[in-house]
Chain A
Amino acid sequence: MSTVALRSLVKRYGNVNAVDDITLDVAEGQLVALLGPSGCGKTTTLRMIGGFVEASAGSILIGGTDVTRLPPARRNIGFGFQSYALFPHMSVAQNVAFGLEMRRLPRAEIAQRVNQALDRVRLRAMADRLPKHLSGGQQQRVSLARALVIEPSLLLLDEPLSNLDAQLRGEMKLEIRQIQKAMGITTIFVTHDQDEALSIADRIVVMRSGRIEQDGTPESVFAAPRSRFVAEFMGVTNLLPGTFEASGCFRLTNGAAIRISDQAGAPERESVLAIRPERIRIARAGATPGPDDLPAEIEAATYRGLTVEYRLRTGSGLHLTARQPTPATGGPTMLEPGACIHIGVPTDACLLIPA
């Protein structure tokens, strides 16, 4: 239940900056997701806040107090490790009880809180097992219970759901969210899964090569990625370089033009046109195409259950991906490769991003 402030935080390994000048303010009770590809410095950032890695420069404040030089034991942080880090020689219950024993709580209270924590992660029945007799997902939940049971003022979770199956992941996500809100624990949650970040966080911080690329609410990061990198990470697969023309047209580098609304984007400046695959409209052979529609051919179709993904090639040689509902989700019959169609892009589906 504390604020967290990172001030120009840097971690150098040799001459590589694993974390490169990060400044971040996390409000009390907020759940922030650190999102980014492998190797972008998420774990390193989290480990500096936890006190396991010394910052090369900058400072860390928890609840307004500078903890940059404080040992981990004095930070009152619950840490969920990417590798779980369960004590191999202790049972599940002993693992969870460890932090409470360090706080010298009475035996009865420890037992009661351990049971409660194990209930939360649905592992009460496994209390007496050794970690090596648990599945990966069960170990992950023990590590979560162990971090939560001490009621830390700050919870740091390093990919806490990476090893769970889809159903359990959904359940645990809700559980983490619920506990976090109920206890009001400020939480920083590391993930490389945009879906997870979008559905759990109050705020998403996208990282790239040790720096913050974009920082905002899930809605704003998803709907308005400010860079090509974030757009790609948020599932925007169509990124077309070109120039915005005063006429309301976007002139692609291959000469083709796409009509977009007169919205944002500095005219005559090189930029990238971003279009979500779900927003591309497909008019089948026989249907009347819109006035601005482009002829295209289906090159490949990938069935994904809820949706089908088409790889398209327009008459002007442009490659695009489009995504449509499948018959199972109320969509039309699927198109075969080779089918000739027309595609349209609603003007409000076009987003201009600096090149």
Chain B
Amino acid sequence: MSSTAIRRTYGAVSALVLAFILLPLVVIVWVSFFANRILAFPASGYTLDWYARALATDSFRDGFVTSVETALFATAASLLIGIPASLGLVRGRFPGRDAIQTLLLAPMVVPGIVGGAALFIAYIEVEARLDLQIAGTLGGLLVAHTLIALPWTIRLVTASLASADRAIEEAAASLGASPLTVLRRVTLPAIRPGIVAAALFSFVISFIDLEKSIFLVGPGRTTLQIALVNYLEWSLDGTVAAVAAVQILIVGAALLISDRYARLSQVF
């Protein structure tokens, strides 16, 4: 085969795979405008009603607010913990450093439902010892989501720290900057793209989490994902598609923005 033929074949296969991945998303967005009473093809007409219905549904509205609040908290907390931890991991020399970095890959290979169950059991154990309510409380949910976001934050921030030129910190020091000034004026600004990407990615990871949250939400407090699952138990109409379409929009935007700051493909 000539090299152009290879390139064409490669392009065609890539396009097919991409279409396969994007198809469900496109279909969801499409059917969210269908006028049909139950989700089905073909469309009997087009409408924006399902979006109005979604907005009017309490569980979706509350779920959305809870999800956004939780994700914001998880983002802030994971940055607050993750940035110093990354500095320690990249700059420090201590036993177990490599082991910790490998362990941080765990959330990417352990199924979410296993992680959720593990967290739940851990909460119950702590509750039993400390005589404290954790599972089902807002605190428990926030801690869990921080834990969900943290490995991703650390991976993104350590990656950008590792690729930052160490010599700029030395230059600042030799120009008279104290270690704290070096951190504030040189190190952190230099890795700002990584931090922005980590923040957006943390937000997304927390926002879309279902498997872990399902163990940890309490009565009257559901995240948007759980509200969706609950709703699906009773009805299969365009409201679900409308909610999903909104989510796709939010998550897609966040990922596109964070990719502008740090090529996500280089981190995972």
Contact = CB atoms under 8 A, between A and B. Distances in A.
A248 B72 CA distance: 89
B170 A98 contact: no
A119 to B, nearest CB: 20
A72 interface: yes
Interface in B126-180: 165, 167-168, 170-178
B111 interface: no
A143 B190 CA distance: 17
Given A87-B186, A87-B190, A88-B190, A72 B174 contact: yes
Interface string B99-118: 00000000000000000000
Give the contact-size bracket for chain A. Answer: 20 to 34
B178 A79 contact: no
B177 A73 contact: yes
B143 to A, nearest CB: 34
A146 B176 CA distance: 12
B179 to A, nearest CB: 8
A150 interface: yes
Given A87-B186, A98-B172, A73 B178 contact: yes
Interface residues of B, number: 18
A71 interface: yes
A144 to B, nearest CB: 12
B192 A50 contact: no
Contact of A87 (B172, B173, B174, B178): B172
A267 interface: no
A71 B180 CA distance: 13
Contacts of B167: 81, 83, 85
A304 interface: no
A98 B185 CA distance: 10
Contacts of A160: none
Contact of A89 (B171, B175, B192): B192
Nearest to A156: B174
B171 A85 contact: yes
Nearest to B164: A88
Given A87-B168, A88-B168, A78 B189 contact: no
A36 B178 CA distance: 33
Nearest to A52: B170
A75 interface: yes
Contact of B171 (A71, A87, A103): A87
A73 B174 contact: yes
A241 interface: no
B9 interface: no
Contacts of B189: 87, 89
A315 B128 CA distance: 99
B181 interface: yes
A73 B165 CA distance: 18
Contact of B170 (A50, A88, A103): A50
Interface string A306-345: 0000000000000000000000000000000000000000
A78 B174 contact: yes
Contacts of B192: 89
Interface in A73-95: 73, 75-79, 81, 83, 85-89
B170 A146 contact: no
A98 B172 CA distance: 8
A51 interface: yes
Contacts of B177: 73, 98, 102
Contacts of A51: 173-174
A99 interface: yes
A31 B172 CA distance: 24
Contact of B174 (A75, A88, A103): A75
Contacts of B176: 73, 76, 99, 102-103, 150
A83 B165 contact: yes
Contacts of B178: 73
B58 to A, nearest CB: 46
Nearest to B192: A89
B115 to A, nearest CB: 37
Contact of A86 (B168, B174, B181): B168
Contacts of B185: 98
B173 A73 contact: yes
A72 B192 CA distance: 25
Contact of A77 (B172, B174, B181, B186): B174
Contacts of B175: 73, 98-99, 102, 146, 150
Contacts of A86: 168, 171
Given A81-B167, A86-B168, A89-B189, A50 B181 contact: no
Contacts of B171: 79, 81, 85-87, 143, 146
A143 B173 CA distance: 14
12 contacts: A52-B173, A75-B174, A79-B174, A85-B165, A86-B171, A87-B186, A89-B189, A89-B192, A98-B175, A98-B177, A103-B176, A150-B175
Interface of A: 50-52, 71-73, 75-79, 81, 83, 85-89, 98-99, 102-103, 143, 146, 150
Interface of B: 165, 167-168, 170-178, 181, 185-186, 189-190, 192
Given A71-B173, A83-B165, 18 more contacts: A51-B173, A73-B173, A73-B177, A73-B178, A76-B176, A77-B174, A78-B174, A79-B174, A87-B171, A87-B186, A89-B189, A89-B192, A98-B175, A99-B175, A99-B176, A102-B175, A102-B176, A150-B175
